[in-house]
Amino acid sequence: MAGIPVGAWAYLAGAVLCASACALPALDPAAETPWGAVALLAALYAFCEWPARWSATGRATWRVPGGSSVPVSAGSFFPVLLAAALLLPPAAAALVAVPGALAAPVEQRPAAPRRIWRAARLAIAAWAAAWAAARTSVAFGGGPDALAAAPGFPYVLLPASVSTLAFCLVLTALDGGILATAERLPLRSAWRGLLPRSLAPHAVHGLAGLMMAVLWRSPYGWPAALFVLLPMYVSCWMFAQVHRERAAHQATIRALVQAVDIKDTYTRGHSERVGHASVLIARELGMDEARLEVIRFAGILHDVGKLGVPTRVLRKDGPLTPEERRVIELHPEYGHEMVRGIGFLGEARAAILHHHERMDGSGYPYGLSGRQIPEFARVVAVADAFDAMTSTRSYRRARPIATALAELERCAGTQFDPRMVRALVRALERHGWEPAVTADDSRDPARRNVPPPRDRPRPPEPPPPGTSEGAADTSRGRAR
C-alpha cells in the first residue's frame, strides 16, 4: 500500500464518501426501500461476479496451458446493476453493487484498496443510472419507477438508454480520475479513449439489463429474469478464450526473447527494458491501450533478428570489421522475416524492420527519413538507445540517466524524433527509471556491476558524426 500515491488515496476517500452519500438514504425507514428486491439483486450480482471461485464454473482466474492465468471480466455482469437501476430507487440501486464488488477476486495487489475502489465506483455509477432513469420516467409523466411511464416497447428504451449512458459516463469519469492520480498519467491523456471503448459494451449490457427488468416485472417474475444471464456466461466464456489466445501470444514473445538472450548474452534483459521504455513513451504520446500492447511487443522483439546473425559476431570483443558490420546491419530484415507471419504483432513488424532508421536518412536498412519512418520505429529507436546508454555492459559502465537524456536531446532531429525524446524525458520525470546490468557476468559474482579488466585495452569504434555513443552501439546491431 505504500506504493499508492497520496493523490490516489485522497481520490479513493472522496469516492467512498460520495458512494456512502448515495447509498445511505436507503437505510432511512421513511424511504420504504424494497429490501427483498435489493437482497435478491445484490446476491445475484455477487454470485455472478464470484463464479470462478468454484471448480464447477471455472475460477476467478481462468487457467490456461502453461500455468498462466486469465482474469474474468469484472464488467461481464453489469446487466444486473442496470436492471437494478430500472427497478429500484437510486439509493437502493447503489447498495446492489457493493457486496459483489467487495467479494469479487482481485488479481493485483494491494487487494483491499482495489476492492473498496471497485465498490465505490460501481455504487456511484448505479446510483447515477437509477437517478437518470427515474428523472426520464418522471419527464414522461410517470412515477419514480423507470418502467412505470413506458411499460411497453419501444418507449421503454428511452429511460433504459439514458440510464445506460449515465452509468457509462460516470464509470468513465471515475476511471480517468484514478488513472490520473494512481498511475500519474497526464490529465490530457487520462480520459483519452475511455469513453469510445466503453460505449459499445455498455450499450449491450444496457439492453440485457432492460430485458431483465422487463421480465422481472412480467407475470413470470424474477425467475424468468435469470435466463438473461445465460448469454452473459457465454460472453464470459468467450472473454476467457480471447485471453487464452493472448496468453499464447505472450508465450510466443517470451520464447523469442529468451532465444535472443541466450544467443547474445551481452544484452540479456535489454529487450524487456526497451519494451517498457517504449510503453512509457507511447503513453506520454496518448496512444490507446491496444497500441500500447503492440508497441511493447515491438520493443521486446526489436532485436529478434539477431537470431540470424552468427554468434561469433554478436559476442566479438572488439571492433567490428566492415564485413561484420554489414552482417550485423541485416538483423532488422532478419527480424522482419521471422515475424511477418505473426498477425497479432501488427505495427510492431514495421518497428522491428525500421528501428535503426535515422531522421536525417542515414540509417538502415532502407535509409528512410523523417515521417517516412513508422511512428513505432521512432519510439523504439529512442527507447533502444536510452537503455543501451544506461545499462552496464561487459566493456563499459552505464552512463548516468541525465547524461543519456542529454545525448538523446543532442541527437534529436538528426538521429531521433525530437517528439519521442521529449516524451521519454517527461515519462522519466514522472515514473523514474531503474538501470540494470545486462552483461553476462555471472562467472564472477564479485565483479557484478563492474566492467572486467582487459589485458590490452582496445580503442572503441568511433561513432559516425552526430551519433550518440549508445546509438553507435545499437547501429552496430549489438545494442551493447
* pTM of this structure: 0.54
As a whole number of angstroms, the distance between CA 455 and CA 166 comes to 72
Residue 327 has pLDDT above 70, yes or no: yes
Q: Of the given ranges (74-83, 173-182, 323-332, 414-423), which has the lowest mean pLDDT? A: 74-83
Residue type present at position 248: A
Cβ neighbourhood burial of 36 (10 Å; 0-12, 13-18, 19+): exposed
Q: How far apart are CA 179 and CA 140, in angstroms?
A: 38
The Cα-based distances of 31 to 1, 90, 99, 322, 355 in angstroms read 38, 11, 21, 84, 64
Average pLDDT, the chain: 78
Alpha-carbon span 302 to 325, nearest angstrom:
18
Whether the Cβ atoms of residue 23 and residue 197 lie closer than 8 Å to each other = no
Confidence of residue 152 (pLDDT cuts 50, 70, 90): low
- The pair phi, psi for residue 63, each rounded to 5°, is -80, 140
Crossing angle between the packed helical segments 78-87 and 35-49, to the nearest 10 degrees: 170
| pLDDT surpassing 90 at residue 74 | no
- The H-assigned helical ranges of 358-400 are 375-390
Q: Say how far apart CA 30 and CA 24 lie, in whole Å.
A: 12
Q: What is the mean pLDDT of residues 37-63?
A: 62
Position 256 confidence tier, pLDDT thresholds 50, 70, 90: confident
- Of 157-166, 193-202, 420-429, the range with the lowest mean pLDDT is 193-202
Beta bridge partners of 63: 69
Residue 272 has pLDDT above 60, yes or no: yes
In this predicted model, what pLDDT tens digit does every residue of 414-455 receive, in sequence order? 999 999 999 999 999 888 887 554 433 333 333 333 333 334
Chain-centroid distance of CA 65 in Å reads 22
**pLDDT surpassing 50 at residue 297:** yes
Q: CA 235, 240, 243 angle in degrees (round to 5)?
A: 130
Which residues lie below 8 Å from residue 26, measured CB to CB, with a gap of 6+?
33, 38, 89, 91, 92, 94, 95
Q: What is the pLDDT of residues 457-467, one digit of tens each?
A: 343 444 444 44
d(CA 385, CA 281): 13
Measured CA to CA, the distance from residue 452 to residue 395 in angstroms comes to 7
End-to-end CA distance of the chain: 37
The pLDDT confidence band at residue 76, using thresholds 50, 70 and 90, is: low
Confidence check: pLDDT of 264 > 80: no
pLDDT of residue 126: 94
Across residues 161-186, what is the average pLDDT?
A: 89
Question: Which stretches does DSSP call E strand in 48-157?
Answer: 61-63, 69-71
pLDDT over threshold 70, residue 32? yes
Q: For residue 139, what pLDDT band results from cuts at 50, 70 and 90? A: low
